[in-house]
Structure formats: C-alpha cells, structure tokens
Amino acid sequence: MLEQPGEDDGMSYTEPDDLRKVRTFVTERAAALGLAPSRIDLLTLAVSELTTNTLQHTGGGGHIRVWAEDGRLICDVTDGGGPRPFGRAMPSAEAVRGRGLAIVERICDSVSTSTVPGGTLVRISLNL
C-alpha cells in the first residue's frame, strides 16, 4: 500500500479557469521532486487530460495530489465521476473525441483506477 501524501501536496479544481493553475502546480511539484524536464511535460499532459475530463464529464470538480515514493512520481486525480474505461485501443485519427485516456495510458509508466467514497481515483505514475 502506498503512503498517502500530505495536504500540502495537492490542490482542488472546479472550473476550466483552474486548469492553468493545475498545470502550473503539477509542473512545479514534479520539478521540485526531481522528475526530468521531458518527463514533466508527459506528466503535465496526462494530468491535463484527466482534469479536463473531470470538468467535461462530471460535476463538482476534483482534487489532485503529487508526491514521490520509491523512485516514482505519483499523481492521484480524484473526482465525482464513475470508473474510467482504461485498456481501450487508441481511437482512429478521424475520431473527434476519445483520445485522452488512451494518451494517459501510453505516456505514464503505470495507470490504475479505483472507486473511492464519492467518486473515482485515477493514480498515474512516472519513474523518476
């Protein structure tokens, strides 16, 4: 079981204008925790996809946490939505939507999802 991060390691978001703050928070935390710059870009993209999905498909916003443990940078994205359909093929180039979760799976070293009180937690990690 992974140790949960402290409250200082996270932030909440509730509206589209918060996404810039989310990206800045993730970028700054990842740099402070020692993630390589090219990997920071991947993490920021993955978190941006997950938090954008929260705002498009759920109500009430969400909460993210970022911390390092056992040689990995870990990020939890928790929201009021249902389970995510990971494990799908990448949608075709002609598809208008549906690439976000597929991208997250392909750029992170691990992705998992679990049901938590009031919604769903998606945990992504990248090796440091």
What average pLDDT is seen over the chain? Answer: 87
Locate 96 and state its tokens. 């208008």
Going by C-alpha positions, the residue among 121, 115, 108 that lies closest to residue 72 is 108
pLDDT surpassing 50 at residue 3: no
- pLDDT single digits (tens) 28-63: 999 999 999 999 999 999 999 999 989 988 888 999
pLDDT surpassing 70 at residue 4: no
Separation between Cα atoms, residue 32 and residue 67, nearest integer Å: 10
Mean of pLDDT values over 96-108 = 82
Q: How confident is the model at residue 2 (pLDDT cuts 50, 70, 90)?
A: very low
- CA 50 vs CA 62, 69, 70, 71, 103: distances in Å: 10, 21, 24, 23, 10
Mean of pLDDT values over 90-110 = 80
Q: H-type helices in 58-98, by residue range?
A: none
Domain regions of the chain by residue span: 12-88+98-127
Please provide the CATH number assigned to the domain covering 12-88+98-127.
3.30.565.10
Separation between Cα atoms, residue 23 and residue 59, nearest integer Å: 20
